[in-house]
């Protein structure tokens, strides 16, 4: 790759400790100097960091493919470096095949379907807060385990396994690739959980219930039943999508609101502000920082020469801080509107779970603000995710607050370890 014009070789690695120390500053420097640049890290990849480049690439699936392939190694195509994950449907499929798979997912994540899930979401949030509300102290990161248990229950997986699903997916996204925690997730937890998931898929095919796995095993594509392995590939993606992202959003938001008490008070005084505020927190924190594509043919993209097989990182997070698109992008304006953020991606692969993610974040934030709204975070004891390349957030948020009362009656408390 030549050092030509606006497409130079830069020293950048979104997985490095240096980047994790200050992801916002790291992307800002890159965006201001070279919004399209090439890094030699991880076998080489392009980084797109302004809104225009990210927007155009995300909408051009013919050139920027999501399909699993061997360029850049084996594994999940939408991350750099590729992680050894099972094939994920539909995120690793390009059109035209993509459409028939996405059609199966849309009905279970559409607004009406998520409205039907509200009771489940409220129930788990209420329980998680009940468990700590009388003590007046907690690790708020544990309260934010809600998205995992909701996703596991909704899919029809074993709810008693929810912490194992949560920690494995968290490690895959937030531990340093190659670290002991990461390897344990990939080599021990994932194979164990995959075995259990496959057993449940087989069982639901025999005896369907009313969960999502039962729905998926009864679907057809190309006039034939969806296979167990295809169901697994969708379930595993729904887990990966549902578990870490919403937790990342809420963990960042609660710490930010502690540091900005006047905004916290506004949200307590006027909960109708929450919907727009969540869109702004999505923009500001971009829980999924960046995802990858592969170039399908030699091409010139916004003046940069790209070659077939080049890997490309689209930074949703950096696009979300582009001053050409957002006025005063480094400030949080909870009433910002319009807010065309890229936190859920852009184009055909735009997040299938956005309504569910929003609903879980809203219920968590509502109950935190109404039931423990005077929380004080011990900032010295905060622990950030060790690796901020894919998801940013806090894995330990020790806090104290005025104790309150439980809401669930004994009979309503789930019989599951937290
Ligand atoms: C705050 C929460 C969330 C954020 C920030 C987020 C972010 C994203 C992003 C950026 C993409 C685009 C992928 C791409 O272009 O390659 C995506 C896709 C996806 N997300 Fe989410 N997500 C969230 C919540 C969820 C939830 C709760 C679920 C499911 C339960 C989910 C399931 C999916 C699926 C299935 C896709 C793939 C869609 C496709 O390929 O057509 N996400 N998400």
C-alpha 355 to ligand 1 mean position (Å): 10
Residue 115 CB partners (closer than 8 Å, separation 6+) = none
pLDDT at position 58 is: 98
pLDDT at position 111 is: 98
CB-neighbour burial class of residue 356 (10 A; exposed 0-12, middle 13-18, buried 19+): buried
> Quick one: tokens of 382?
């905060």
What DSSP letter does each residue of 265-308 carry, written as one string? HHHHH-GGGHHHHHHHHHHHH-SB-EEEEEE-S-EEETTEEE-T
Q: At what angle do helices 228-259 and 190-206 cross, to 10 degrees?
A: 120
pLDDT at position 186 is: 85
> Running DSSP on this structure, what letter comes out for residue 7?
B
* CATH (domain of 370): 1.10.630.10
pLDDT band at 3, cuts 50/70/90? very low
Asked if pLDDT for residue 1 goes beyond 50, the answer is: no
- Give the other-Cβ count within 10 Å of 134's Cβ: 10
Residues 95-130: pLDDT tens digits? 999 999 999 999 999 999 999 999 999 999 999 999
C-alpha 297 to ligand 1 mean position (Å): 27
pLDDT at position 373 is: 98
Pocket test for ligand 1, best of 67, 245, 248, 282 (most atoms within 8 A of CB): 245
Residues 14-49: pLDDT tens digits? 999 899 899 999 999 999 999 999 999 999 999 999
Q: Report the pocket of ligand 1 as residue ranges, CB < 6 Å.
A: 66, 78, 90-91, 102, 105, 151, 237-238, 241-242, 245-246, 249, 287-288, 291, 316, 343-345, 349, 351-353, 356-357
418 in a domain, yes or no?
no
pLDDT at position 274 is: 98
pLDDT at position 216 is: 98
1 in a domain, yes or no?
no
Angstrom distances, CA of residue 239 to CA of 7, 101, 168: 37, 16, 11
Q: Whose CA is nearest to atom 34 of ligand 1?
A: 352
Segment 147-157 mean pLDDT:
96
**Number of domains observed in the structure of the chain:** 1
Q: What is the CA radius of gyration of the chain?
A: 21
417 in a domain, yes or no?
no
Asked if pLDDT for residue 162 goes beyond 60, the answer is: yes
Asked if pLDDT for residue 2 goes beyond 60, the answer is: no
Pocket test for ligand 1, best of 99, 173, 241 (most atoms within 8 A of CB): 241
Asked if pLDDT for residue 135 goes beyond 50, the answer is: yes
Question: Over pLDDT 70: what percentage of the chain?
Answer: 99
Question: Of 63-77, 170-184, 318-332, where does mean pLDDT reach its minimum?
Answer: 170-184
pLDDT at position 185 is: 86
In terms of DSSP bridges, do strands 290-295 and 64-65 run parallel, antiparallel, or are they unpaired?
antiparallel
3-class secondary structure, 48: strand
Q: Which domain holds residue 116?
A: 9-405
Question: Over pLDDT 90: what percentage of the chain?
Answer: 85
pLDDT at position 148 is: 94
Ligand 1 atom having least distance to the Cα of 151: 30
413 in a domain, yes or no?
no
Segment 266-294 mean pLDDT:
97
> Running DSSP on this structure, what letter comes out for residue 411?
G
Ligand 1 atom having least distance to the Cα of 360: 27
Segment 391-414 mean pLDDT:
94
115 in a domain, yes or no?
yes
21 in a domain, yes or no?
yes
């Amino acid at each position: 790759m030549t050092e030509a014009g606006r497409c130079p070789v830069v020293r950048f690695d979104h997985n490095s400790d240096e980047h994790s120390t200050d992801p916002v500053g790291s992307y800002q420097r890159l965006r201001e100097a070279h919004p399209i640049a090439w890094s030699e890290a991880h076998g080489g990849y392009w980084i797109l960091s302004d809104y225009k480049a990210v927007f155009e690439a995300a909408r051009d699936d013919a050139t920027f493919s999501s399909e699993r392939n061997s360029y850049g190694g084996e594994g999940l195509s939408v991350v750099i470096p590729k992680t050894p994950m099972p094939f994920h449907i539909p995120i690793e499929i390009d059109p035209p095949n993509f459409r028939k798979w996405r059609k199966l997912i849309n009905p279970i994540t559409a607004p009406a379907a998520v409205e039907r899930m509200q009771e489940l979401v409220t129930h788990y949030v209420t329980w998680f807060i009940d468990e700590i509300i009388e003590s007046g102290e907690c690790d708020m990161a544990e309260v934010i385990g809600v998205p995992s248990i909701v996703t596991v229950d909704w899919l029809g997986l074993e709810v008693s396994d929810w912490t194992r699903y949560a920690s494995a997916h968290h490690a895959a996204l937030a531990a340093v690739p190659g670290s002991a925690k990461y390897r344990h997730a990939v080599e021990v937890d994932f194979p164990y959980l995959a075995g259990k998931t496959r057993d449940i898929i087989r069982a639901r095919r025999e005896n369907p219930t009313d969960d999502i796995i039962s729905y998926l095993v009864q679907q057809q594509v190309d006039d034939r039943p969806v296979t167990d392995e295809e169901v697994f590939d969708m379930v595993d993606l729904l887990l990966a999508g549902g578990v870490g992202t919403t937790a990342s959003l809420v963990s960042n938001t609660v710490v930010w609101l502690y540091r900005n008490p006047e905004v916290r008070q506004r949200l307590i005084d006027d909960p109708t502000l929450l919907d727009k505020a969540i869109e702004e927190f999505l923009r500001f924190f971009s829980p999924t920082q960046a995802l990858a594509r592969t170039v399908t043919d030699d091409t010139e993209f916004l003046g940069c020469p790209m070659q077939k097989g080049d890997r490309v990182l689209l930074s949703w997070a950096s696009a979300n801080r582009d001053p050409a698109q957002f006025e005063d992008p480094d400030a949080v304006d909870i009433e910002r509107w319009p807010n065309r953020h890229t936190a859920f991606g852009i184009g055909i692969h735009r997040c299938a779970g956005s309504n569910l993610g929003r609903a879980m974040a809203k219920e968590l934030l509502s109950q935190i603000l109404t039931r423990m709204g005077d929380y004080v975070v011990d900032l010295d004891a905060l622990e950030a995710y060790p690796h901020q390349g894919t998801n940013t957030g806090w894995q330990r948020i020790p806090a104290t607050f005025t104790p309150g009362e439980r809401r669930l009656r004994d009979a309503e408390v789930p019989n599951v370890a937290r």
